[in-house]
């Protein structure tokens, strides 16, 4: 008599899928994950490589700063003697908090604002809201507790779309908003520092700054990446002597 071949063990049920089905499904999902990883965008890979090899990123971790941007403000301060103890400083676009840390470490009273949530910084007042909200300026003024500001810092930057002219217009719109706020809250001889883009600040804003401040210049600190188009406009010596604005 011919013996019948032994039956294959039945797959055990695990609910909707059998263990055999689940095994095949897991294998397929694993392959898709690997494929996605291999297909990572070149720009993302370049960014990661740049971060890993950036000495300022490593230095920020060692020095306890929340990001490499802290060194941009430090370098501008060292060049211009910008910050002094007991100054009232408003930091617009504060996240993740590197500039606020620098100013606070020098002994300034800092109020930071950003649309993103930030972890607390000792001695710093942080507001989470969009500076473009109608009530944002008033919230900042309330946080200043009746004091005028010695300096307004703006590291705000819009989401870019890759179109040079459009991106430039967007960042200049933020510079204009920050500047309008600064004119209302700065002390006599106060300062205004804002991130802009190479190609310069618009002529209209520069004309106003040169009228309202004693000195206006553009500066690109060493820690600003060479391949970055960012630069900073710094206006010092605010002229409030002809009355509040």
C-alpha distance from residue 15 to each of 11, 19, 21, 28, 224 (Å): 12, 9, 11, 19, 57
Evaluate if residue 16 carries a pLDDT over 50. Answer: no
**Better pLDDT: 89 or 43:** 89
194-208: average pLDDT: 79
172-192: average pLDDT: 96
Per the CB < 8 A criterion, the answer to whether 235 and 201 are in contact is no
State which H helix or E strand residue 242 sits in. Answer: none
40-68: average pLDDT: 73
Confidence of residue 13 (pLDDT cuts 50, 70, 90): very low
200-204: average pLDDT: 68
Evaluate if residue 32 carries a pLDDT over 50. Answer: no
**Poorest-pLDDT segment among 24-28, 92-96, 228-232:** 24-28
C-alpha distance from residue 20 to each of 13, 23, 112 (Å): 9, 5, 56
User: What was the pLDDT predicted at 48?
Assistant: 55
Evaluate if residue 192 carries a pLDDT over 90. Answer: yes
Evaluate if residue 33 carries a pLDDT over 70. Answer: no
Catalytic entry in 16, 46, 195, 211: 195
What are the extents of the domains in the chain?
Answer: 25-63, 69-238
**Better pLDDT: 56 or 236:** 236
User: What was the pLDDT predicted at 200?
Assistant: 53
Asked, as a colleague might, if the bond just before 204 is cis with ω within 30 of 0, I would say: no
User: What was the pLDDT predicted at 86?
Assistant: 97
**Better pLDDT: 236 or 10:** 236
Confidence of residue 28 (pLDDT cuts 50, 70, 90): very low
| CA nearest neighbour of 225 among 2, 56, 19 | 56
Confidence of residue 197 (pLDDT cuts 50, 70, 90): confident
User: What was the pLDDT predicted at 202?
Assistant: 67
Is position 195 annotated as part of the catalytic site? yes
CATH topology of domain 69-238: Rossmann fold (3.40.50)
Per the CB < 8 A criterion, the answer to whether 57 and 119 are in contact is no
Query: What is the average pLDDT value for the chain, to the nearest integer?
Result: 81
92-119: average pLDDT: 97
196-206: average pLDDT: 74
């Amino acid at each position: 008599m011919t013996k019948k071949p032994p039956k294959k063990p039945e797959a055990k049920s695990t609910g909707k899928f059998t263990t055999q089905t689940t095994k095949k499904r897991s294998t397929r999902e694993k392959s898709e994950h690997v494929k996605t990883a291999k297909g990572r965008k070149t720009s993302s890979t370049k960014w990661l490589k740049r971060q890993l090899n950036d000495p300022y990123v490593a230095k920020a971790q060692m020095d306890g700063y929340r990001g490499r941007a802290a060194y941009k403000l430090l370098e501008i301060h060292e060049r211009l003697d910008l910050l002094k103890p007991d100054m009232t400083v408003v930091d617009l676009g504060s996240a993740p908090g590197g500039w606020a840390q620098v100013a606070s470490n020098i002994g300034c009273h800092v109020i930071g604002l950003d649309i993103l949530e930030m972890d607390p910084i000792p001695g710093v007042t942080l507001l989470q809201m969009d500076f473009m909200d109608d009530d944002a300026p008033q919230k900042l003024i309330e946080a200043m507790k009746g004091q005028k500001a010695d300096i307004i810092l703006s590291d705000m930057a819009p989401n870019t779309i890759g179109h040079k002219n459009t991106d430039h217009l967007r960042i200049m719109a933020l510079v204009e908003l920050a500047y309008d706020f600064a004119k209302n809250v700065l002390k006599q001889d106060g300062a205004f520092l804002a991130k802009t883009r190479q190609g310069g600040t618009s002529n209209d804003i520069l004309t106003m700054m040169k009228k309202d401040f004693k000195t206006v210049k553009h500066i690109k600190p060493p820690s600003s990446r060479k391949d970055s188009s960012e630069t900073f406009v710094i206006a010092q010596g605010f002229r409030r002597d002809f009355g509040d604005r």
